[in-house]
Amino acid sequence: MTVAPLSDEAVFAPVRSQTAFEETVERLGTAIKLGLLPPGTRLPAERELCRRLGIARSTLRQALLALGQTGHLQATRGRRGGTFVADPQPPTEKPSEELLAQWQEVCDSRMALEVGVASLAAQRADDGACEGLAALAELMDQQLDDYPAYRHSDVRFHVALAESTGSARLIAAETAAQGEMTALIQMISHPHAVLRASNEQHHRLVRALRAHDGVRAARIMGEHVEGTEHILAAFLPPRG
């Protein structure tokens, strides 16, 4: 069973914010940090990126320049030139004080989002989507002793789940949520047993999707998100 690649909708859905520059930087930066755009990836041409993101070329160029200045993108000239995801990437930043202070609100938002996504996915996921999710869960079974690889597959699983709903807004929201969660959970340990239990929930969720059981899918996802929150609670400050 092969793992289906994520569609570009996970990264290049239209930007809908009033602050298009900030959202574009966040969207592309999050996709890079999560590995959805791996090091060495060549971005589409500017005209195509503007069309797909729904932004002006001046906005795109400002965003690409900002990401170049932080070391996440690099531009080259010539026949084979273009804008590429930098390899290697700059060191991972620590979570901001604001994010740490609001971690429980982040978990609340993730709970509402992911439970809803799971319920919709149970209604809309086709056989191909279920096969792709099952393949990712099987891959994670083999990555329990390699957390960075496991986390990369975990992100792909949750974004692919959102993709199976067919909603560009949910895909963008899920990608942003995974970016915030990645910043938080890098601060805690990831024992083999915890990863195994978490991935078993992934397998159970796929079975619920195949059965088109939205209630069971939502319950499993709720347990999944709650488990992460319980672990974070042991290391981060309580709700103020």
pLDDT in 10s for each residue of the chain, 240 residues: 666 666 666 677 776 655 788 788 888 988 888 888 999 999 999 999 999 999 999 999 988 988 998 889 999 988 788 999 999 888 877 777 888 888 999 999 999 999 999 999 999 999 999 999 999 999 999 999 999 999 999 999 999 999 999 999 999 999 999 999 988 888 777 888 889 999 999 999 999 999 999 999 999 999 999 999 988 887 777 765
**Are 112 and 72 contained in the same domain?**
no
Radius of gyration of the chain from its Cα atoms, rounded to whole angstroms: 18
Structure confidence at residue 171 (pLDDT): 94
The string of DSSP letters for 5-27 reads: PPPTHHHHSPP--SSHHHHHHHH
Specify whether 110 is located in the same domain as 227.
yes
Q: Is the dihedral of CA 130, 134, 139, 145 positive or negative?
A: positive
Number of domains in the chain: 2
From residue 122, give the alpha-carbon distance in Å to each of 101, 188, 199. Answer: 34, 31, 18
The answer to the question of residue 4 being in a domain is no
What pLDDT, on the 0 to 100 scale, is given for residue 187? 78
30, 175 in Cβ contact below 8 A?
A: yes
Q: What is the pLDDT of residue 35?
A: 87
> Is there a single domain that holds both residue 69 and residue 108?
no
Same domain, residue pair 107 and 214: yes
What pLDDT, on a 0 to 100 scale, did the predictor assign at position 15? Answer: 66
Do the domain assignments include residue 75? yes
Same-domain status, 121 and 207: yes
Report how far residue 238's alpha carbon sits from residue 229's, in angstroms, rounded to the nearest whole number: 11
Q: CATH number of the domain at 225, please.
A: 1.20.120.530
Residues 34 and 128 in one domain: no
CATH number of the domain at 61, please: 1.10.10.10
Q: Residue 152 has what pLDDT?
A: 92
Cα Dmax for the chain: 56
CB 24 within 8 A of CB 71: no
Q: Same domain, yes or no, for 70 and 113?
A: no
Other CB atoms within 10 A of residue 128 CB: 10
